[in-house]
Amino acid sequence: MAKANGYWIPMMDVFDLGVPGPSGNENDTYVAEKVIYKVNNLLNSGSIVALLRKIFMHNYIFPDTAYSFYGFAGFDGRTVQPVIIQPRVADAHPATQVMIDTYMAALGFEKAATEGRYFNKTYEVWDLVPRNVLVDAEGDIFVVDAEIKAVTRAKMHHRCNK
Amino acid sequence: MKFLNQFHKEATERKMRKIAASQQSPMNSSDFAQYMKHNLEIANQM
């Protein structure tokens, strides 16, 4: 279906997306002129549907670094890895944990006991640590990678106070 | 676009303007990839 609709990228063509950047747990990155392609191995998300849900939530909470869906890469008949696109954030460096805490508080999130983990009445966001969050010269914060899920408040308090 | 609060709205709009401005004269991809790797090294030392 991905092939029929022009969304299939054979793994051998992935390097045509851009210059290889750093790789993370879940993503290999390829840098193009204006965007970064992320080839996602679903290690954190677990499924394509879960990844798309996470992207939807990311785009609501962090719209300045919103993802777009680009296609599927993989080895024909064996593996499928979604490819997503994110705008490049220029002139920024890793934010400190204090900066991240302050930013999330300004968005109305409470800090959980675990570093880099936050929640409000609807969402739990974690892995907001310096490798995933940038700050520019004016102090604006850009979250380029985050784990997010929607949860109920009761479950949240139970989880965060354990 | 829906926002969490007024700060979210203002910060998002400001950052989107900055990203759009930076895309007018982007750093070349090889340099940007190196810049990302350097940022990761910094982050790993924090």
Give the residue-averaged pLDDT of A151-156: 63
Of the residues A87, A112, A134, which one is the last residue of a structural domain? A87
3-state secondary structure of B38: helix
Query: B10 at the A interface (CB within 8 A)?
Result: no
Q: Please indicate whether, in this complex, the C-beta atoms of B36 and A130 are within 8 angstroms of each other.
A: no
Confidence of residue A62 (pLDDT cuts 50, 70, 90): very high
**Mean per-residue pLDDT for A7-31?**
89
In a domain, A3, yes or no: no
pLDDT digits (tens, 9 = 90+) for A71-92: 999 887 778 899 999 999 999 9
Residues A69 and A100 in one domain: no
Q: Which residues of A touch B30 (CB under 8 A)?
A: 19, 31
Partner-chain residue, chosen from A34, A97, A107, that has the shortest CB–CB distance to B26:
A34
What are the domain boundaries of chain B? 6-45
Helices (H), chain A: 48-61, 97-106, 153-160
Task: Report yes or no: A127 and A145 within 8 Å, Cβ to Cβ.
Answer: yes
Q: Is the pLDDT of residue A157 over 60?
A: no
Read off the pLDDT of each residue in B35-44 and give the average, rounded to a whole number. Answer: 94
Asked if residue A155 and residue A101 are part of one domain, the reply reads yes
- Domain check: are A107 and A82 in the same one? no
The CATH number of the domain where A19 resides is what?
A: 3.30.200
Domain with A115, as residue range(s), is 92-160
ipTM of the complex: 0.94
Sign of CA pseudo-dihedral A75, A21, A27, A91: negative
Q: Examine residue A1 and state whether it is found in any structural domain, yes or no.
A: no
- Examine the domain organization and report whether A71 and A109 are in the same domain: no
A14-45 exposure pattern, b = at least 16 Cβ within 10 A, e = fewer = beebbbbbbebebbbbbbbebbbbbbbbeebb
| Predicted local confidence at residue A160, as pLDDT | 53
Examine the domain organization and report whether A65 and A37 are in the same domain: yes
Does A112 score more than 70 pLDDT?
A: yes
- If asked whether residues A23 and A50 sit together in one domain, one would say yes
